[in-house]
Amino acid sequence: MSLSQLIGNASINAMQLFVGASLVVLLAIFADYAWMLYMRRRMPPGPLPWPIVGNTFSLPDVKPWYHFEQLSKDYASPIITFWIGRNPTIWVNDAWAANELLVKRAGIYSSRPRMVVFAELGAGQTNLLNMYTETPEQRDRFRLQRKLTHQGVGVQQVQRYRSFQNDENKVVALDLLSTPDDYVVHFERYATSVVSIIGFGRRISSTQDPIITEVIALMQRAAALNVPGKEFPMLMETFPWLAKFPNWMAPWKHGLGSPGVPKHTNHDFFYTLAEEANESGRESYSKFLFQEVPKYNLAPHDVSALSANLLGAGADTSSSTLATAVLAMRAFPESLGQAWEELDRVVGKSRSPDLDDDLPYMRAFVKEVFRWRSVAIIGGQPHAPTQDDYWKGYLIPKGAWVQGNIWAIHHNERDFPDPDRFNPSRFMDTPDARPFPGEKGYMTFGWGRRSCAGQYLAEQGTFLSVARLVWGFRISPAVDELTGKEIPVDIFNYTNGLNWRPEPFKVTFTPRDEEIRKTIVREGEQALQNLAPYEGDTKYRFSTFFQG
């Protein structure tokens, strides 16, 4: 056989091999797509997915919760299915459906799905936030970590924190007298300081403390990464195999850590902070965790994750909620008249509000803050059922992403008429009050066994903060220095992350009268004296911890 014949035969064989391989791939894609369409027929309604990519590329660039709310209306279903690649995501856009699935059936909806970016490349799947609960061993581990978290911020524990939480809040009011334009930074310092005292026994006295400037930035980055998307890095949730590439050849591959920092090394930083706190003379949650190490055989990454979660769950979210409260007070001044009347009648001007004050309208006001623009806009991390489940005849398969759309839930006209209007009266006990599942009247802190463990601390601190702001200040429009015109605010201009907050906006803070101003000064100066025992510094910085 001649050389040309050999080459010809080899070319034919290669072509046959290529055609054969292509047919196998096409058949596999066809079979897989047939499976997707079969599953789609059994699951809640939603848009037709494409092979392999599902509905991923129909996602909007920002704020996908609006899109899922609209899909729910288009399909006339409180629950819809949206395919992220080959993985179906169930979006729950209705309070009653969320309560039925995630609260009443919490026993099978307390697990998490596989999460590539936030878990595998970020905080880790063993972190309480991301933990599976499919096996008895996993459920035992989850219960232990949840129990240890409640030892830090559970409903019984937060009663002990009232004093310094109140004092830190009084310092915010004092700071607003001198630098009102920095109100968001003051909120960040306050919220971070409270959880730092709890977690590490050290208050944050400066707005430039690295726990604020570096760690909150990390938490905000995490929130931005944890939103369903069609761009890198979130595209790895559609194509998980992209995460298998080594870092040096995969510029799209990054999680929560800084570039070049090995996976999970951020745990080492928080462990070191906890270790430093344990060696100090102050009581703290970190010291408690180290005491529990031998009893529960806690590993260093357990101590690191549990202490870090305090900062992650408490600092950024609380400060964002307070920024939303200010926006509501600026945009809806008509909501303040009844609040001022109640505060002047019950509290007076010689002291600021306290948790023990009987202030039903202010309680309703704070509930409306939580409802109007909930900070965890898609309810935190997705749930995943540990077995196949059915809702009104629709299949919700084991392991599927199940996500509560807090935006849609809190803006349902049936439950909250005129939902974008800030209206505390909707939470007052009146004949016009609408029914809502659960006793709180809102779903800001999630559901079932995955509800936010720090909600009691957040509710306590938010009430103190908002009541003191309303009592102490008039929040008026800022004025443009060049034109002399009022600077408007946009109640829809929010960030795009999972924990969203208003984009920066300007307002004017003015004490309501001179007696109140003097009270703010007196109480703030006394609060600083009360907080003096918590003063201190850490020698560690997140940005430099790994150098050398």
CA 469 to chain centre: 24
Nearest to 378 by CA among 230, 498, 235, 228: 498
Are residues 63 and 405 in contact, defined by beta-carbon separation less than 8 angstroms?
A: no
pLDDT value of residue 11: 67
User: pLDDT tens across 27-57, in order?
Assistant: 988 999 999 999 999 999 999 999 999 999 9
| Under 8 Å between Cβ of 442 and 424 | no
Q: Which residues pair with 508 in a beta bridge?
A: 476
Q: How far, in Å, CA of 272 to CA of 304, rounded?
A: 8
State the CB neighbour count (10 A cutoff) for residue 396. 25
Percent of the chain whose pLDDT exceeds 90: 70
- Residue indicated by tokens 């510029």: 251
Q: Which residues line the annotated binding site for heme?
A: 452
Distances (CA, A) of 495 to 90, 221, 232, 372: 24, 12, 18, 15
pLDDT of residue 501: 93
Which stretches of 201-299 are DSSP H helices?
210, 217-225, 265-279, 285-296
Q: What is the pLDDT of residue 326?
A: 98
Domain boundaries, the chain: 18-534
Ramachandran angles phi, psi of 471, nearest 5°: -60, -40
Q: What string of pLDDT tens digits covers the 548 residues of the chain?
A: 565 665 656 566 767 777 777 888 889 889 999 999 999 999 999 999 999 999 999 999 899 999 999 999 999 999 999 999 999 999 999 999 999 999 999 999 999 999 988 888 878 888 999 999 999 999 999 999 999 999 999 888 999 999 999 999 999 999 999 999 999 999 999 999 999 999 999 999 998 888 887 777 777 777 777 788 878 788 888 888 888 888 777 777 754 444 333 444 445 788 999 999 999 989 999 999 999 999 999 999 999 999 988 887 777 889 999 999 999 999 999 999 999 999 999 999 999 999 999 999 999 999 999 999 999 999 889 999 999 999 999 999 999 999 999 999 999 999 999 999 999 999 998 877 889 998 899 999 999 999 999 999 999 999 999 999 999 999 999 999 889 999 999 999 999 988 899 999 999 999 999 999 999 999 999 999 999 999 988 888 776 665 43
The alpha-carbon radius of gyration of the chain (Å, integer) is 26
* Residue of 499, 131, 113 whose CA lies nearest to 302: 131
Kindly report, residue by residue over 385-417, the tens digit of the pLDDT.
999 999 999 999 999 999 999 999 999 999 999
Q: Using H for helix, E for strand and C for coil, what is the string for 350-403?
A: CCCCCCCCCCHHHHHHHHHHHHHCCCECCCCCCEECCCCEEECCEEECCCCEEE
From residue 21, alpha-carbon distances to 28, 86, 286 in Å are: 11, 22, 57
Q: Residue 204 and residue 213: Cα distance in Å, rounded?
A: 11
Residue 338 backbone phi and psi in degrees, to 5? -65, -35
* Cα 108 from Cα 196, distance rounded (Å): 34
Element (H, E) at 507: strand 507-511
Distances (CA, A) of 532 to 158, 197, 287, 526: 20, 12, 20, 10
> Tokens representing 178?
């001198």
Q: What local confidence, expressed as pLDDT, does residue 7 receive?
A: 60
251 contacts 233 by C-beta, under 8 angstroms: no
Residue 54 three-state SS:
strand
pLDDT value for 257 = 45
Q: How far apart are the first and last CA of the chain?
A: 66
For 426-460, b where at least 16 C-beta lie within 10 A, e where not — what string? bbbeeeeeeebbeeebbbbbbbbbbbbbbbbbbbb
Q: How far apart are CA 217 and CA 319, in angstroms?
A: 13
| Side chain identity at residue 328, one-letter code | A
232-257 b/e with 16+ CB inside 10 Å = b? ebbbbbbebebbeeeeeeeeebbbbb
189 touches 206 (CB < 8 A): yes
Task: Give bridge partners of residue 81 from the DSSP assignment.
Answer: 90
Residue with tokens 């909806």: 109
pTM score, whole prediction = 0.92
**What's the CA gap between 455 and 453, in Å, rounded?**
6
CATH superfamily of 18-534: Cytochrome P450 (1.10.630.10)
Q: Where is 84: in which H helix or E strand?
A: strand 79-84
For residue 504, which amino acid is it? P
pLDDT score of 254:
58
Residues of each annotated binding site: 452
Cα–Cα distance for residue pair 459/410, rounded to 1 Å: 17
Q: What is the DSSP letter of 483?
A: T
Nearest-CA neighbor of 424 among 358, 356, 371, 347? Answer: 371
